Chains A and B, each alone.
Chain A
């Protein structure tokens, strides 16, 4: 059984640029959620994807968008990068989109915006 994997592990971008982060969910998991974790803080929920559609969103602006593919893998896209977007971006997968189930995280992508 494979775990949640994310790529790349580290990334440096310039303010105003766009970035795409990738996530492969754990085997058998059809739901992917994305989180942003600033230094010294807990992760903040960005959004969730299920059946290739966004079905839940946190307090993030529209320049944060995503995709989910038929194999349940997912992308997080951030446009018009700002310095405050520098953070660890985490992907979590679950077996179902609702209900009582565990969530497992990938190793994260460290994004630095300069």
Chain B
């Protein structure tokens, strides 16, 4: 089976650092994605990890450990506009580009 787990909601303060965790169990693995989604809008691509380790893109970093079935998204210098849902998605080994999503983590950034 396929299962993606991430916290439902997190809160943080403007300027702080927050880490959103994601654990997964899938049949095969062809990469892990993080997307940002503001309410009522489409998901926006943030990062893609296929090998173990840390990928850094400006204020956002994503980490992957395939042996542990674990990833995290790190957001630094939080801004109010970072208030959104963050979706963790895994591409299992299906032979096509299917993504399996978690239910998302709603992040609330307060002043």
Report the stretch among A14-22, A65-73, A103-111 that lies at the interface.
A103-111
B72 at the A/B interface (Cβ < 8 Å)? Answer: no
A30 to B97, CA, bound (A): 12
Q: Is the CB of A45 within 8 A of B98?
A: yes
CB proximity of A109 to chain B, nearest CB, Å: 10
What separation, in Å, do the CA atoms of A105 and B101 have in the docked complex? 14
Contact residue among B4, B45, B100, B103 (Cβ-Cβ distance under 8 Å from A102): B45
- Decide if A56 touches B42 in the complex (CB within 8 Å): no
Please report the C-alpha to C-alpha distance between residue A43 and residue B45 in the assembled complex, in whole angstroms: 14
Residues of B that sit less than 8 Å from A by CB: 4, 30-31, 33, 35, 40-45, 48, 50, 87, 89, 94-104
Q: What are some 8 contacts across the A-B interface (CB < 8 A)? A: A48-B97, A90-B42, A103-B33, A103-B97, A105-B35, A105-B44, A107-B42, A108-B41
Identify the A interface with B (CB < 8 A).
31, 33, 35, 40-45, 48, 50, 55-56, 58, 88, 90, 92, 94, 96-108, 110
